[in-house]
Amino acid sequence: MRLEKHNADEMTPLERIYAYEHGLSYDRIPSVPFIGNVRCKVGGMTPEEYWDSAENMVKAELMSYQRFGFDRLGIGPNTRGISDALAAQVPDKKQGSLVLDDYSKLEYLEPVNARNDLVIQRFLQAAEMLQESAGEIVPVEISIGGPLTIASFLREIELLLRDCRRNGDKVQKLLRIIVDSQKSCIDAFAQYGVGIAMADPVANPALIGPKLYEKFVFPYTKELTDYALEKTGKKVSLHMCGATYSIWKYIEQYQLNEISLDNIVDLDRAARELGKKVPIAGNVDPVQSMLNGTKEEIFADVQKCIELGNSAEKGFHLTTGCDIPDGTSPEKVDWFMEAARLYGKKR
């Protein structure tokens, strides 16, 4: 199956994004609702069926595009896939984040080799199929998660947070292995012509504050975003949760396609400050508007975001403030896109 332009739009996503970035005339603002498991519902499968099969991932993504017509397709191992691949190296491992209950187990870990890894394999297949079916009209991005969040999937988060102060060298050692695994993923996925997406919820400054962000997150995110640009020729899309004001000074130093902002962030301030340095994206409320809101509330939120975000000098994409929760009706996403087409027309 090859994707075609969505009926409700005049341009394909690639045409739209090109026009938007080059100051040409475009039909509407680039819009990406982070649809989470809504894609599984649209594809007629459970999240488990989605996760276990490359064919299902591709099917869910293509069917979701056909229904909604959003401006980016996204699949990928994400935090969960990369932490699973790393955890698989530890013998007699315990469940979940107890894999590294003891740092002596670090000796078992080495960077994942994405091309040969069993967990990563199906995502590579999916990336190839997706790019083949859709790459001519819509960008495809592969999510590789975020280093500190992957670390929290291997070591209990309250221990990990304490370690940032007490056992910094061990955390750095773990992060090095994680980042090299992510770079191996970038290498492997780059061959298909796709872009890279990252999200690092645990690097939220409410948890670690700006000083620890500078030490344990900034250098690695900088390294990964630079590396991804070099290898794929495309800038990374980064999502950060939380009230991120105190780390904007770091975020503006990354090479980004967009920084997508939590719905608790003041989009007006973000557009005026952060939007001078990097393209911003945001931030329709995933719970109040998307899960629980009426059509009118979704329209109002979309309109507000477009009005505020549009003043960003480096550009603005309409997104949700985080993944839309499980159980959100796909109809809500229809309304989000309908509102984007209405309020996001180029004036």
Size of the site for other proteins (CB under 8 A): 21
Using the rule CB under 8 A, is 98 a contact of other proteins? no
C-alpha distance from residue 56 to each of 41, 133, 195 (Å): 12, 14, 20
Q: Binding of other proteins at residue 206 (CB under 8 A)?
A: yes
Q: Which residue has the tokens 């982070």?
A: 34
Could you say which of 205, 309, 315, 321 contacts other proteins (CB under 8 A)?
A: 205
Binding to other proteins by residue 94, rule CB under 8 A?
Answer: no
Is residue 115 at the binding interface for other proteins, with CB under 8 A as the rule? no
Encoded tokens for 331: 């109809």
Nearest-approach distance from CB 318 to other proteins, in angstroms: 21
Quick one: residue 262, left, alpha or beta (phi over 0 = left, psi -120 to 50 = alpha)? beta
Give the chain's end-to-end CA distance (angstroms, integer): 35
| Residue in 44, 52, 110, 209 binding other proteins, rule: CB under 8 A | 209
CB of 241 to other proteins, least distance (A): 9
Is 330 one of the binding residues for other proteins (CB under 8 A)? no
Cα separation, 157 vs 159, whole angstroms: 5
How far apart CA 346 and CA 20 sit, in angstroms, is 9
One of 164, 175, 240, 308 touching other proteins (CB under 8 A):
164
Task: Give me the amino acid identity at 138.
Answer: V
By CB under 8 A, residue 207 contacts other proteins: yes
Q: Per this entry, what is the length of the chain? A: 347
Q: Can you tell me whether residue 37 is helix, strand or coil?
A: coil
In one letter, which amino acid is 318? L
Stretch that binds other proteins, among 63-71, 163-171, 174-182, 295-303 (CB under 8 A): 163-171
Contact criterion met (CB below 8 Å) for 244 and 261? yes
Minimum distance between the CB of residue 161 and other proteins, rounded to whole angstroms? 4
Residue nearer to other proteins on the CB measure, 190 or 290: 290
What does the alpha-carbon distance between residue 257 and residue 225 come to, in Å, rounded to a whole number? 10
Binding to other proteins by CB under 8 A, coded x per residue (else -) over 278-297, reads ---------xx--xx-----
* Minimum CB distance to other proteins, residue 344 (Å): 26
Among 10, 48, 136, 158, binds other proteins (CB under 8 A): 158
For 203, the enclosing helix (H) or strand (E) is none
124 phi, psi to nearest 5 deg: -65, -45
Task: Tell me the two tokens of residue 295.
Answer: 């059509």
Please report how close the Cβ of residue 278 comes to other proteins at its closest, in angstroms.
23
* Binding stretches for other proteins (CB under 8 A): 157-158, 161-162, 164-166, 205-209, 212, 246, 287-288, 291-292, 325-327
